Amino acid sequence: MMPDPFGSGREGALESPRPIVPTPAMMAGDLRGRRVLVGLPGYGWRGDLRADEKVIQGSRTYIPVMPEGEWYRAEAERTEVFAALVPVERVWVEELGFAGTSVPGAKVNQLVSLDEPPRRPPVSAVDADSLTGRRVTQALNDGEELRDLRAVTESYVSDDGAVTVRVAQELDWYRWGWSGKLPRTLEVPAHLIWVE
């Protein structure tokens, strides 16, 4: 039997991280810093956004929403940034669902309803089409998971022969964009990385 080049024992032993499950912002509690999607049922959705606390103007409730990179810059540099006020009914919060067992090679792009943003099951980095710049989760040996990471490379073979991916903390990823400062990265075995 040929050895597994990923060194993962991928034969069904690895449980995937929790999936992203969009929830209407009207049903969410504290929103500050939460990842959100905005859009309109039947039209489309936009992600990579962060929210601030609800704002009430007259009889309407709005959510201040900004691009995720701007949110990180505002938090890191303690500066004000522009946030669009989006009606609460057009905002969905990214919640974490329940973990499930991964299915290598499973079809990811299923048909969905346009009534709500699609649920996003995690996809193993080993099965993903591309990684660089994508939000990823690192599965840890104890069943825990590290989030708020970005892949900075595609999969490659490390000096010790393992298939790996370099990842950075999301703050460092975005700081790289606004300041040019290279992020600190960590080399992680590809079988432990999942695209969110």
- C-alpha 148/C-alpha 174 separation (Å) is 11
The pLDDT of residue 3 is: 35
Percent over 70 (pLDDT), the chain = 87
Q: Residue 187 has what pLDDT?
A: 97
What does the pLDDT read at residue 14? 61
**166 near 153, Cβ under 8 Å?**
yes
Q: Cβ(35)–Cβ(68) under 8 Å?
A: yes
> Amino acid identity of 98?
F
Residue 103 has pLDDT above 70, yes or no: no
Where are the strands (E) in the chain, listed by range? 20-24, 35-40, 44-51, 55-57, 60-67, 84-87, 91-96, 123-124, 135-139, 145-151, 156-157, 163-169, 186-189, 193-195
Residue 172: what pLDDT? 97
**Confidence (pLDDT) at 100:** 60
The mean of the pLDDT values for the chain is 88
How would residue 109 be classed by pLDDT, with cut points 50, 70 and 90?
low
Give exposure, 16-33, as e/b (b: 16+ Cβ within 10 Å).
bbbbbbbbebeebeebee
Question: Using alpha carbons only, how large is the chain's radius of gyration in Å?
Answer: 18
Rounded Cα gap, residues 71 and 65, in angstroms: 9
Q: Is residue 29 pLDDT above 80, yes or no?
A: yes
The pLDDT assigned to 97 comes to 87
Q: How far apart are CA 176 and CA 172, in angstroms?
A: 6
